Chains A and B, each alone.
Chain A
């Protein structure tokens, strides 16, 4: 059963994103929303950790949250997909379960 992990906290402030990556299984998907969107860009202290997860998991960011924080999609780590709310809904449908890492 694939799971959608929803993360909404910056990895520079709280441990929830790390905790999510430590528990997500191969084949799962991770969606960054709200403050977690800041982790989507290349060249942060979290980039390597996220790239490691991307070897066997799909990573998405809610585009509106990225833009709201002044970050453009051309700075995203290669392989991260930007989705809108319709895409968010699709991800919850495609994965059998969801877990929010609050």
Chain B
């Protein structure tokens, strides 16, 4: 079965990213397919590579990144939400005339249409948020 997962909250503030990560791992472990993970609202903060949590805490951004690389997942940060919150890839930073980018490997930035397409193409769409 094909899944799209939407995540509406950033890491640490809410449990939703933790829950979604565990859910995504379980989906893959059972042999299902993840068509896309779409990060919206503050969820785009899951895509920064500049997070430095204390050594004894989990680093959610890195865990998502590693899961994406291992399973070739499509992790999409909403461009409108990301622009509002200062999450940039190199192209977007350049286009906006900014001096830095901060997206972590395994994520890409794209439009809201990616969420709707996920809903259309997937058998199940699961939302994690506040």
Q: Do chains A and B touch in the complex (CB under 8 A)?
A: yes
Which of A's residues lie within 8 Å of B, judged by CB?
6, 8, 33-35, 64, 84-86, 88-90, 92-93, 97-98, 100, 102
10 A-B contact pairs sorted by A residue (CB < 8 Å)? A6-B127, A34-B15, A35-B15, A89-B27, A97-B124, A98-B126, A100-B126, A100-B129, A102-B127, A102-B129
Q: Is the CB of B26 within 8 A of A93?
A: no
In the complex, A93 Cα to B15 Cα: how many Å? Answer: 23
What residues of B have a CB within 8 angstroms of the CB of A6 in the complex? 126-127
Q: Which 8 A-B pairs have the closest CB atoms?
A: A85-B26, A100-B127, A102-B129, A89-B26, A34-B15, A85-B22, A86-B26, A92-B124
Closest residue on chain B to residue A34 by CB atoms: B15
Q: Which of B22, B25, B126 contacts A92 (CB 8 A)?
A: B126
Give the B interface residue count (CB, 8 A): 21
Contact check, B124 vs A98: say whether CB atoms are below 8 A apart: yes
Whether a CB of chain A sits under 8 angstroms from the CB of B29 is yes
The answer to whether residues A89 and B32 also contact, given A8-B16, A34-B15, A102-B8 and a CB cut-off of 8 A, is yes
| Minimal beta-carbon separation of B115 from chain A (angstroms) | 14
Nearest Cβ on chain B to A87's Cβ, whole angstroms: 9
Does A93 lie within 8 Å of B124, measured CB to CB? yes
Chain B, residues 75-115, CB within 8 Å of chain A (1/0): the string is: 00000000000000000000000000000000000000000
Residues of B within 8 Å of A88, CB to CB, are 23, 26
Contacts of B30 in A (CB 8 A): 86, 89-90
Residues from chain B with Cβ under 8 Å of A84 in the complex? 26
Chain B residue nearest in CB terms to A90: B30
- Determine how close the nearest CB of chain A comes to the CB of B19; give it in whole angstroms: 6
